[in-house]
Structure 1
């Protein structure tokens, strides 16, 4: 009966919404915490979430990976929650929780039956107000993160793709280093280091709290004030990351992965951050090139010419700079250079010709469908509200972002391809099996 009840409760998270406007209310507490509330009483479910404006790029040299380390540390416990008690409290109340860290932000959330709203707010206020950051906790979580790095990066097939892209496309900006950090930096992290990091970044004025679902607005506002209002404001955070010199000559690189047997080719470009309009145009280009079996690169290289096992274009969005990447795995003895040549042929076509009206309409249909799906659950809405406020600086994008995509023209697609996707602005990376040969 309990499992059935939970299934009914959380099925509300899967209810598809129409493309109607998402209503919300936002305001600031005196300590700088931004609060966004979304009321949806269609199912007895609530999400409490906090996004902190801190990610992998927020570090000093020799201290990489701290934001991801904190994602783990802040689940360890608090003054009022014993070690290991976080998950136990949530699961015994029928809830779910998780967190994730990017180069730009960290996001924590809890999903509960709505009668546990106050519990969710208390848990997040505990995380913010007085987490357990002891030497014992630090030592334990460093080992957990090191094992995660071994599993997901060092010993996983093609696990070094993102780190290699970062170190190839960036020389000065912190995006050159992996979000998870380097082993030696994790091992050298001290208790003073992490406590100073917590004091600097995990403060109300560097966060947005989103509460969404089956809530009563006045009651929720009072609980938010009670649990988060007394938390002291932190010092203002100043970011001044170095700018990268434009890439004007092709970068060629070979890298080796002992965990693979089939090589891969990467064609990569440094692109603008995701607040720029051109980022969204590049989104459309990547969808046009490789989203689905009828896309240009897939149809050509996989279906027709049988030259690739896999071909994918990714528009990797980040706050300061993006990465536009085309990844291909060849069939049999097909040379990697053949994939590069065929990829460039399709991109050159984008730089010269306008896409057809049929392809353009298909693109718009896909983006409209993605837009509706992104707001199809309470959890999706909460994540969108937090991201739009924190990283894009415009909460209202939850309702109007699709209008930006609809306004992008075939001519603009051509112009953006000309601006960013030229051979002299790219990196060609041969991702090869085996160990790197030492001289």
Structure 2
């Protein structure tokens, strides 16, 4: 009886939370193709304006990599009507802040201000779309910025190549996801000003973007500002994309990488998995949580606490538009062999492939995802990015309100079948990431 009462209480809590946390929004299109999403939240006097463009590292052509990430930096330098180098000064002087980010699929720019500065934020984003400064001085300056970022995050950072994707070229043989997201510096050095300008002209346009306004604002006023600042931007047809099909791996691949920035070996098992839009991708997120989310997870308890074979155990999925990447890894304790870690991980994966997880474990996972959902949507900035990404990459803005429903509908049988399907040994790349001192 007690178990039934607890189950009923859990079900009621989930239903209540899903309804209480529903994200309301309105969306519409301008005549030039710009998609606009409005999310009103008057709980705090702040507003976020975000513009996400459907262009990332996968859209670059051979010999001209790095341009998508390059524009993340270049478009925050100045415009025809914003003096070069004054962008951030304007933001801070009006109580705001902003940033940008790039991945393989999209580039986004956001600004957050006190709510009475909505007009400024929208004007600045329209300037970024209409009147960027793309001249040789801007290119040369930002080229040095990009080089320094690569040195700090990848070349000189311990395990940086695993975190920032340089290792993806071992997973993808054909797809452009196999390139490092930041691109190759030699390509940026060789690119002409005309090539930089052509990349902007091809991808930066209203029909290839989404504008999100989230926070404390009046809808009528916001719509009038959007019309004033964005409706006159010239319409262009959406750029054509080349869809690259990555063949399924049928044999395990082994790779050894040496790095002078690390002292302890890392072993990783990497898999190509479905697009983040696929239900199976959500099941793999659940599997990742079971395996290594927190100190009570299976891999952490076994490898770190019980057997003392590792200092850290982790798994994560990088959700992408065409395919995703799923990595299981561990940083080895002194004296542990890579083979020993692989053996222990394989045992835990086999359990997921052959046995159903317990009701308790399934409920624990659901609770964690509910907490993550609440955290991700606790700020208008987080909601703005989620809305933009769901529209531009997922084709469904309302995915934000379906996440918990999907997670709570995943069954123990699904977890077992998805583990069988995607975590098979013949589908993976095993990476030994070793200190350079071990190279013979």
Which category describes the TM-score, using the shorter chain as reference length? over 0.9
Task: From the superposition, tell whether residues 163 and 364 of structure 1 become closer, same or farther in structure 2 (CA, over 3 Å).
Answer: closer
C-alpha contact (below 8 Å) 1:200/1:235 kept by paired residues: no
Task: Give runs of aligned pairs for residues 260-275 of structure 1, distance below 5 A.
Answer: 260-275=262-277
Counterpart CA distance in 2 for 1:232 and 1:176 is: 34
Structure 1 distance, partners of 2:231, 2:304, is: 57
Conserved 8 A contact 1:48-1:121: yes
> Following the alignment from structure 1 to structure 2, what is the Cα–Cα distance between the partners of residues 313 and 216?
43
1:256 aligns with 2:255: no
Partner of 1:107: 108
Q: Displacement of 1:172 after TM fit?
A: 0.9
Q: CA RMSD in A?
A: 1.5
2:377 & 2:77 partners in 1: Cα distance? 31
Inter-partner Cα distance in structure 1 for 2:286 and 2:21 = 23
Does structure 1 conserve the Cα–Cα contact (< 8 Å) formed by 2:66 and 2:185?
no
How do 1:40-439 and structure 2 match up within 5 A?
40-161=41-162, 162-434=164-436
Bigger shift: 162-171 or 179-188? 162-171
Query: The residue matched to 2:160 in structure 1 has which SS?
Result: coil
Length-normalised TM-score, structure 2: 0.94
Q: How far apart, in 2, do the equivalents of 1:362 and 1:396 lie?
A: 25
Cα distance in 1 for partners of 2:243, 2:141 equals: 31
Deviation at 1:165, TM superposition (A): 2.7
CA distance in 1, matches of 2:264, 2:372: 33
CA distance in 2, matches of 1:245, 1:305: 37
**2:195 and 2:152 mapped to 1: Cα distance?**
26
TM-score by length of 1: 0.94
Partner Cα separation in structure 2 for residue 255 and residue 21 of structure 1: 45
Report deviation, 1:435: 7.2
Output the CA distance in 1 between the equivalents of 2:53 and 2:265: 38
Question: How far off its partner does 1:436 sit?
Answer: 9.6
State the alpha-carbon separation in 2 of the partners of residues 98 and 19 from structure 1. Answer: 30
Which residue of 2 is the match for residue 6 of structure 1?
none
**Cα distance, 1:158 vs structure 2:** 1.1
Counterpart-to-counterpart distance in 1, 2:161 and 2:399: 33
**What are the superposed Cα offsets for residues 111-149 of structure 1, whole Å, 9 maximum, x if unpaired?**
101110000000000000010000010011011101111
Q: Partners in 1 of 2:39 and 2:273 — Cα distance?
A: 34
Question: Post-superposition shift, 1:166?
Answer: 0.8
Provide the C-alpha distance between the structure 2 equivalents of 1:253 and 1:20, rounded to a whole number of angstroms.
44
Deviates more, 1:137-146 or 1:395-404: 395-404
Greater shift, 220-229 or 185-194, is seen at 185-194
Is the 2:166–2:179 Cα contact (8 Å) retained in structure 1? no
1:334-379 Cα shifts (integer Å, max 9, x gaps): 1011011100100011000000111011011111111122211111
1:326 CA drift (Å): 0.8
Structure 1 distance, partners of 2:294, 2:259, is 28
Q: Go from structure 1 to structure 2 and tell me whether the alpha carbon gap of 1:395 and 1:245 turns closer, same or farther (over 3 Å shift).
A: same
Q: Distance in 2 between matches of 1:339 and 1:244?
A: 29
Q: Secondary structure at the match of 1:160?
A: helix
Distance 1:40 1:359 in 2: 35
Structure 2 unaligned residues grouped into runs of 5+: 1-16
Distance across 2 between alignment mates of 1:107 and 1:388 = 13
